[in-house]
Chains A and B, each alone.
Chain A
Amino acid sequence: MLPGSYYTGLSAVLFVIGVTGVLVRRNPLVIFMSIEVMLNAANLALVGFGAQFGTADGQVLVFFGMTVAAAEVAVGLAIIMAIFRLRRRLSVDDLSAMRW
């Protein structure tokens, strides 16, 4: 059996890839997919920890995380579509109405 730290390390690298995408990219849809990558990394870490402790609790949390991710996709994409319909622009830099 591989030590659990392998899985945790893989998950950390994936999470950071997602963070980079959110910070660097300007298209809201790509930012959205980067968030999915981060959620995936978190799920991987949870399954890894659960396997390390030998309980199914980690997998229950992943189940919850997946459901929340699905809800987030539905609402988030609806918001992005609504913004596109109003603005016809593609960069998050244009969406500065709520900036302080």
Chain B
Amino acid sequence: MTLETGAFWGLAAVLLASSLAVVLTRNLFHSVLYLAVAIVATGGVFLLLDAAFLFGVQLLLYAGGVVTIVVFAIMLTERLVGEGIGQTSRYLINGAVVSVAVFVGVLLFVGQAPLPAARRPLGADVTRALGELLLTRYVLAFELLAVLLVTALLGALYLARTDE
């Protein structure tokens, strides 16, 4: 299992570095690119956890869709405002205190949870199990998601219309 360990630490390093870069870079455009790296690295961790289907969805939906939309948004706002967008921070110390508190809270909460010590192996065909669960136990949520997507589409179109 040294392969899994090595892959995990490599992906974790890339993931942490790129996520930090998303938050810390001054150049907005660079932060989107780092976000793309972080998203692909998360997909890699999904692969380690036997979630090949989610890896595909992650690449298509996040790296392909979300990142593209954010790139468009940044380019459009730069045109609207007519200058390069720099960025500044505020409340650095308060933010650090709250973040550390959230981190400790999350760790304490997860530490209490009754989790199995060793990982249990997933079934042979995870994608099949995923599809069956989606259309049986979670079918109501699945249908509601379709409604949510249509609503979001209409809402985005409404908000993005030009004033005429």
Q: Is the CB of B159 within 8 A of A44?
A: no
Residues 7-62 (chain A) with a chain B CB within 8 angstroms: 7-10, 12-21, 23-27, 29-30, 32-34, 36-37, 40, 43-44, 47-57, 59-60, 62
Choose one: A51, A64, A91; the contact of B49 (CB below 8 Å): A51
Please indicate the chain A residues that have their CB under 8 angstroms from the CB of B155 in the complex. Answer: 74-75, 78
Please indicate the chain B residues that have their CB under 8 angstroms from the CB of A29 in the complex. Answer: 28, 70, 73-74, 77, 85
Please indicate the chain B residues that have their CB under 8 angstroms from the CB of A54 in the complex. Answer: 119-123
Q: Is the CB of B87 within 8 A of A26?
A: yes
Chain B interface (Cβ within 8 Å of chain A)? 1, 4-5, 8, 12, 15-16, 19-20, 22-23, 28, 31-32, 35, 38-39, 42, 45-46, 49-51, 53-54, 57-58, 61-62, 65-66, 69-70, 73-74, 76-77, 80-81, 85, 87-92, 94-96, 98-100, 102-103, 106-107, 110, 115-123, 126, 129-130, 133-134, 137-138, 141, 145, 148-149, 151-153, 155-157, 159-160
Please indicate the chain A residues that have their CB under 8 angstroms from the CB of B46 in the complex. Answer: 44, 47
Residues 55-100 (chain A) with a chain B CB within 8 angstroms: 55-57, 59-60, 62-64, 66-75, 77-82, 84-85, 88, 90-91, 93
Give B5's nearest chain A residue, CB to CB. Answer: A2
How many residues from A make CB contacts under 8 Å with B? Answer: 73
Q: Is the CB of B8 within 8 A of A2?
A: yes
Please indicate the chain A residues that have their CB under 8 angstroms from the CB of B65 in the complex. Answer: 70, 73
Q: B47 to chain A: closest CB distance in Å?
A: 10
Q: Is the CB of A78 within 8 A of B160?
A: yes
Q: A21-B23, A60-B134 are in contact. Are A13 and B49 (CB under 8 A)?
A: no
Please indicate the chain B residues that have their CB under 8 angstroms from the CB of A10 in the complex. Answer: 12, 15-16, 45
